[in-house]
Structure 1
Amino acid sequence: MTATAPHQEQLWSRCEGCASLLYRKRLRRNLDVCPECGAHARLAAPERLSQLVDPGSFTPLPDRPAEVDPIDFVDVLPYPHRLTAARAGTGLDEAVVCGTAAVGRHRCALAVMDFRFLGGSLGAAVGEMITRTAERALDDRIPLVLVTASGGARMQEGALSLMQMATVSQAIAGLREAGLLTVSVLTDPTYGGVAASFATNTDVVLAETGARMGFAGPRVIRQVTGRALPEGFQTADFLLRHGQVDMVVPRHALRGRLAALLAAAGSGRRPVPAAAVPRQERPPGAARPADVAEPTAAPARQPAGGDAWETVRLARHPGRPTTLDYLDSAFEGFVELHGDRLGGDCPAVVGGLARLDGRHLMVIGHQKGHTTAELVAHNFGMASPAGHRKALRLMRLAARLGLPVVTLVDTPGADPGVRAEEQGQAAAIAENILAMSVLPVPVVAVVTGEGGSGGALALAVADRVLMLQHAIYSVISPEGCAAILWPDRGAAPQAARALRLTAPDLCRLGIVDDVVPEPVPAAHHDPEATTRALREAVRANLLPLLDVPTATLVRRRRQRFRRFGAARIGSRAGAR
């Protein structure tokens, strides 16, 4: 709805759906749903809470989010200035409100996102707050309800915002193991990294009437495909027809539907988790107990970084070795396995059984190609939902056979096409991220070229993450970032520098464990030397993981991504 006067004087609102002029008090009584056409206006987080929870039952989490500016990002405005403006405009500390409450007298933990705050973007503080809400649900053994409204990950925090997808997902995995119900309520809009993680990997997914959800936004899809979008594309009814949500619920029925779900969750016997690790309460930033100490790793090599934009160009060079090149030369005896067993075999993802020094393992990677024909045939390395589900099938097979997993990441991002959205792109990525966080075998990921957004993270939730010297890993492409935050796409080189997407940058941020050196001037000038370096790096990082007990391996992997919370990022930024 569009206001026709300042908020404190507002008497009338105009419906964005049918343009009717509506008396504001009548609209409020109707829960901000137009009585003429049924359009659901967006709600602020406090309004949403007042509609959903029992009066007086909401108790906010005690911790305030940490001040975070991990990469000193500046576009036309410094990032801290944008945060200050968002706080002044919304009255909120961050883009989510978290706490515990009762819905129909059934207790739950809630995290409610607010699109008014920087588009509800997922940054380190938001990820930390939602993760703590999930941990509170686990401690109190109550269900978790997430109400999503987001444009995606927060560009101003670079790849650290991307890591929040894994951090929150593994917290949800902990609730799944404990037999606790998780519910997400999709509201308008829910896109990008939020859609491809905790919005779609819960037990039950509800969509409010009028909500839109997808991995890629409609504008991006139109630009990439050049096609007109189907009527009702990515709307709640579209999601229901394509099997991506459990139900579509009008706003007036939402509270009752949640109460019914929470009642059902409390009626059964709850299983004791097989391998749950009790979480000990500690203040933000406090040292971890000795029994869950993070593993000590050798310091990562950090070769001097060149210009970020030049690195982007090298990472995209068509002559760089591809996954199939590495499988032919760095590994032995590759046997490719095809298909997701649901009706598709995506050529942008290849995988199968191979050997490294005689040891059997599962290797999965994005495949681009060198020639135009090869690039087109492999969709430029942009995986469809079938590709992500094929990768998940192979990782689960590796887990059953007790084989280590090596992933080779080289993608500009997941497939942004209409068909991919129809087949559940966001949910496919979300399920990979969640499954990898608990995979009971060693996982080593290598970013060999482009590591683009959630499509890259879907193969990179690993015990050790490596990058080739001239590879990149980012929450968004420099061109995409420039188009949103700068006046034109000509600012892509400037955006590349601001995003901190190079291997040395990501080593300093703790996202990457080691840098694999490339021959001078880059990998495509000497593919054989690059292959030898990659083989040696995988061997050196995989061997120490083979003797780690399974429970310890999973716990350490979870700790690895949990440390990307706002408190720890804030302390690193302060030290810098």
Structure 2
Amino acid sequence: MTATSAATGSSLWTACPGCRSPMYGEHFRRSLRVCPECGHHDRFGARERIAQLFDAGSVSPLGAAPTVEDPLGFADTRPYALRLRQAREGTGLEEAVLCVTAAVRGLPVVAAVMDFAFMGGSLGCAVGERITAAAEHALATGTPLVLVTASGGARMQEGSLALMQMAKTSQALADLDDAGLLTVSVVTDPTYGGVAASYATLADVIVAEAGAHMGFAGPRVIAGTIGQALPAGFQTAETLLAGGLVDGVRRRAELRPLLARLVGAAAWAARGRPVPGEWRTSAPPLVTRPEELPERDAWATVTLARDPGRPTTLDYASCLLDDFLELRGDRVAGDCPAIVGGVGTVDGVPVVLIGHQKGHDTRELVARNFGMGSPQGFRKAARLMRLAGKLGLPVVTLIDTPGAHAGVEAEAGGQAHAIAENLRLMSRLRVPVVAVVTGEGGSGGALALGVADRVLALGNAVYSVISPEGCAAILWRDASAAPQAAGALRLGARELLRHGVVDAVVPEPDGGAHQDPSLTARLVRGAVTRALHDLVPLAPDDLIRARRRRFRLFGTRR
């Protein structure tokens, strides 16, 4: 449905390409061409995308070296040279990507923005050269790189030279990894083939615009190859998110503030990693000597540690951090709901927060698998820790789990491997790590987030090699002996402090953390910021040396 002004000949009304609902054209344009009825995101060109994402007046084009135009002398129904000329005339672009320097909320970036209208956004020599040159400019200037992808894949008309652009651009992103520079990929509809299998999926953070599709082979190719119908939601942004392949799915209007938060976090290290001086005195009264803690019944402490009213990691994220951007997925097999993580700031200092996530009622507990992490969860945690290491951001982990998930799927997915990899990774992470046991610290599932420079525990937290029930079932051969096992395991804060497993205990409000979650969160925030005040200025080699010595000495006579 399209109505036209007789006076101007301009379109006044249009129909949503998704649901066909009629919309006033100017309103559709102001809503960034997103349908208010069905949420369909109409395709954006490169210039429109740049205007939407970056500060007005901040954009300058980036040049690139000349490339071969028609290396094969290719012709199908039309000569390739003619197709190129028509694409340039139709879009006003030289190629399928527009590379610029720009700013997002005042923070400098280099951006490479693809345009599907130019020969399906295909990756040829000129596109590969421009992407690579943009990455090299980001490297030379120490600036984050933002990639906005829209492509059907490598350009067939340029043959094997187009294929080589996948390796060329991937090398360029590897150089940015080595230099510790942030890369962000915004996947738009569609992103396929050689682009999806190279720079689009190599970024530190991958965000899919709502409605985007991404994959290596397109659905028509797959359906024709395997000869069967494809499942609903195949290759959609939402399916990619559930499969752990992207960090998030965002509506178009949300992309600019998201980029600003990520780029702002990366800029902190470049500013010299400053921390507020008031953090020196931010810690609440902490207990560092075991005799200062009362002797408590072990089973009663376990019960308090498991109380469903205790704050969860997401509760702490909303109180501990001034903002929080959750990042999801292990980029391999899925997104584990029992372990959450992302980037946030504390008094302007960016941190990567990772923790076990339980819930406050049966529905939440079941949805979060009672805080028992899967291999996907531990791999997600490892991915976020590597991101923190690359960008020089402190890591804060919150431990509250009965243990790692024990099940057929977890074992098939490499549960032991995933936990072991986290232990090794954390032992040599070159940024400060502060761990807080907020509830249950169960076995290897807890330790996978616990190899830290400072380990704190709440007053009613527990930390043990096994749950009391598990210990009772194995050694007493009677699960009802769990209270006895709890006492024998000496898993409360007093014993943890005595053995040096934790450095300090954060006293809880009267009756437990669940009685005053807000106060508990403030106490944890103060303890964490004081620890970071001491740790952030330390050299990475000194951090690693002290952390490894800490764990090296456990079990020896000191």
Give the TM-score, by structure 2 length: 0.48
Give the TM-score, by structure 1 length: 0.46
Which of the pair has more CA radius of gyration?
Answer: 2
Which structure would you say has the larger RCO, counting Cα contacts within 8 Å and 6 or more residues apart?
1
